[in-house]
Amino acid sequence: MSPVRTSRMVALRSRVRLNKASTGQHSFRQYFLTIAVGAVLVTCCYFWIDRPLAFWIHTRQGHFVGRDELNPLAGIPNPLVLVSVLTFFLLGFLQLAERPLNKTERVALASSSSVLIGETIKEILKWVFGRPSPDIWIMRNSSAVGYQAYQFHWFHGIAPFNSFPSGHMTALTAFIAILWVQYPRFRVIYAVVCLTAAVGLILFNFHFLGDVIAGAMLGAIVGMLASSSLVGQTELRFSPGG
């Protein structure tokens, strides 16, 4: 190999390393910024938005058809989590059998892993923060400025003080985050699905707005980290052969 060609290869490798380092720093800044923005939004909701919004919805719930019918659903395990468990074991065993996974299967495996990781972290955070649901708070207060049973019950996050962050929002965004970077052409659909779920959780007073924002932020971060760690690339790029 000629000295000129060798020097070019060394220069190319150096540029690749620099690009990887730059990409890593950029991703880290994005994660940090997401966490910071989420913390600010949740804090603003806690002090100024959650109570008046939840009380306003409560006074108008007679206009929302189906609230009582939806209450039993709160005791049913999240179907997205159940599907993720089955997908994780099925595709995991295929991997153990050394059966190569195609692109769709690898995305499914990453998505199910993301949901399960988010579910685990969510349960820990619920126990740490111990926040009541809007219904529990409204039962103990007669106005939108009432503070009884509103505060966090630190390290006592068992029912009914287990509303923060929203588990359904965490699971949904953890799943959507993988698809968001892998199939960007459908991002409008993903955004509509997430927004619809968020509005439903708030409109029926299953969660405070801050709970939903925290769940969405947690799921998005877990999804991005899962795509980077489990697949090895932040944007989940695959070779044409799968």
pLDDT of residue 216: 96
Asked if residue 52 is part of any domain, the answer here is yes
Asked if residue 204 is part of any domain, the answer here is yes
* C-beta atoms surrounding 106 within 10 Å: 19
- Describe the crossing of helices 103-129 and 209-231 by its angle, rounded to 10 degrees: 140
Q: Is the pLDDT of residue 25 over 80?
A: no
The H-assigned helical ranges of 204-237 are 209-231
Residue owning tokens 């005791």: 75
pLDDT of residue 238: 39
Asked if residue 40 is part of any domain, the answer here is no
Asked if residue 122 is part of any domain, the answer here is yes
Q: What is the CATH classification number for the domain harbouring 100? A: 1.20.144
Domain count, the chain: 1
**Which one has a higher pLDDT value, 229 or 240?**
229
* Angstrom distance (rounded) from CA 228 to CA 27: 10
pLDDT of residue 191: 97
The H-assigned helical ranges of the chain are 3-44, 50-59, 67-70, 79-96, 103-129, 134-139, 167-182, 187-203, 209-231
* Angstrom distance (rounded) from CA 213 to CA 170: 9
Asked if residue 76 is part of any domain, the answer here is yes
What is this structure's pTM?
0.83
pLDDT of residue 87: 94
Q: Is the pLDDT of residue 179 over 80?
A: yes
Asked if residue 150 is part of any domain, the answer here is yes
Asked if residue 169 is part of any domain, the answer here is yes
> Which range marks the domain in which residue 129 is found?
46-231
Question: pLDDT tens-digit profile of 115-162?
Answer: 999 999 999 999 999 999 898 888 877 666 566 778 898 998 888 889
Q: Is the pLDDT of residue 22 over 70?
A: no
Find out whether 221 and 31 touch, Cβ atoms under 8 Å. Answer: yes
Question: pLDDT tens-digit profile of 59-101?
Answer: 887 655 555 656 655 556 688 999 999 999 999 888 888 888 8
Largest CA distance in the chain: 83
Asked if residue 23 is part of any domain, the answer here is no
In which band, very low, low, confident or very high, does the pLDDT at 201 lie, cut at 50, 70 and 90? very high
